[in-house]
Amino acid sequence: MKILMTFRTIAVIHIGVMFISLSTIALAEDKLDIGKMEYETACAVCHGLTGQGDDGFLKELLAKPMPNLTVLAKNNKGVFPFDRVYQIIDGRQEVKAHGTRRMPIWGNTFNNQSSVYFKNYPPHDSESAARSRILALTEYIYRLQE
Ligand code: HEC
């Protein structure tokens, strides 16, 4: 009887610990969505929190309507144009012939910021830090697809 009680107690504690760790993981995942964090910091001001372009805070100040970032795959025969989106965010490789660009060039911004953030942690590679931020953003926009 005593042994049975002990087993029950152990089982209850075990399940309790499992729940706590699961909720911690869920919380951590919530906090560690780097793409979402970057998007909300750098992009939502123009593109809106949903990416649909009609709910950006700067909407009134922008001369033309914003593109809808949730239909990029739909408008490309169901395939998310990963490389194009990456290049558009980066902006450094964009060919001049594509016309004037209203969107900021994030490749430079992220590279400069990494140089500042990591200047006390040598040796650092500000380019790979910039690329991982652009990759996280591209992956987040992929997740915004309808
Ligand atoms: C100052 C406003 C502004 C900010 C901030 C901004 N964008 Fe843009 N974005 C635009 C505009 C305007 C366009 C339309 C193309 C153009 O005129 O350059 C665009 C186009 C795009 C496109 C191409 C859409 C298509 O239809 O092909 C993507 C992808 C994109 N932005 C992603 C982002 C991401 C990711 C961020 C944040 C890192 C961001 N944008 C920040 C203004 C902005």
Kindly report, residue by residue over 12-43, the tens digit of the pLDDT: 555 454 444 544 555 555 668 999 999 999 99
In angstroms, the CA 94 to CA 92 distance is 6
- Please give the span between the terminal C-alpha atoms of the chain, in angstroms, as a whole number: 57
Ligand 1 pocket test target in 103, 108, 133, 143 with most atoms within 8 Å of CB: 103
For 98-109, give one letter per residue: b (16+ CB within 10 A) or e.
eeeeeeeebbee
pLDDT-above-90 percentage for the chain: 49
Instruction: Please indicate whether residue 119 or residue 91 has the higher confidence score (pLDDT).
Output: 91
Q: Is the CB of 110 under 6 A from ligand 1?
A: no
In angstroms, the CA 72 to CA 79 distance is 8
Q: Which residue's CA is the nearest one to ligand 1's atom 8? A: 103
- Within a 13 Å sphere around the CA of 42, how many CA atoms are in the beta-carbon half? 23
For the chain, the average pLDDT equals 82
Q: Is the CB of 130 under 6 A from ligand 1?
A: no
Dist. CA 141 → ligand 1 center (Å): 11
Instruction: Please indicate whether residue 54 or residue 28 has the higher confidence score (pLDDT).
Output: 54
Q: Angle at CA 14, nearest 5°, toward 12 and 19?
A: 95
Segment 76-90 mean pLDDT: 96
Q: Are 130 and 114 in contact (CB under 8 A)?
A: yes
Q: Residues 126-143: pLDDT tens digits?
A: 899 999 999 999 999 999
Segment 85-91 mean pLDDT: 94
- What pLDDT does 55 receive? 87
Q: Are 136 and 35 in contact (CB under 8 A)?
A: yes
Instruction: Please indicate whether residue 52 or residue 8 has the higher confidence score (pLDDT).
Output: 52
Cβ neighbours, 10 Å, residue 133: 24
Instruction: Please indicate whether residue 90 or residue 102 has the higher confidence score (pLDDT).
Output: 90
- What pLDDT does 19 receive? 46
Q: Are 88 and 98 in contact (CB under 8 A)?
A: no
Dist. CA 19 → ligand 1 center (Å): 41
